[in-house]
Amino acid sequence: MDKLQKLEDQIARHQKYISQIRTQQRILVGQELIKCTKCHKELPANKWTYIQKHWYESPHGCMEGDTWYASKPEVCEIECPDCHGLNYLYNHQYKKRLLDIIGRYRLQPKDIFCVLRDDYPS
């Protein structure tokens, strides 16, 4: 095996290792308890549904179509797995912790919550 191939194999082993560590991070973050603002129960993040909000931009020219953008997590909602009450993240006590986790560990809501549901304003 030539040197280049050995280095390539080394990279693949490390990437696999990094991916395993990322999985452990997601599992740990998923175990973070979130308190429902409606029923006041504390349940692990990986049981909640994340509701991805979107915002709309109308076409600028005759060639463009409608454009929908995903809203930032702080203006999205999460649904309690127990009472199904909607918790707005903007004023949720978990907001800062969630945004810190997303920013510091480069995670996405899909890495943290159980289900992702898209919501478009009508």
What is the nearest approach in angstroms of Zn ion to the Cβ of residue 87?
A: 8
CA–CA distance, 19 with 51 (Å, rounded to integer): 26
Q: Which is nearer to Zn ion, 22 or 41 (CB)?
A: 41
Q: Which is nearer to Zn ion, 35 or 97 (CB)?
A: 35
Residues found near Zn ion in the complex (CB under 5 A): 36, 38-39, 80, 82-83, 85
Q: Which is nearer to Zn ion, 19 or 91 (CB)?
A: 91
CA 10, distance to chain mean position in Å, is 31
What is the nearest approach in angstroms of Zn ion to the Cβ of residue 40?
A: 7
> In Å, how far are 29, 66, 109, 110, 122 from 52, measured between CA atoms?
19, 18, 9, 10, 14
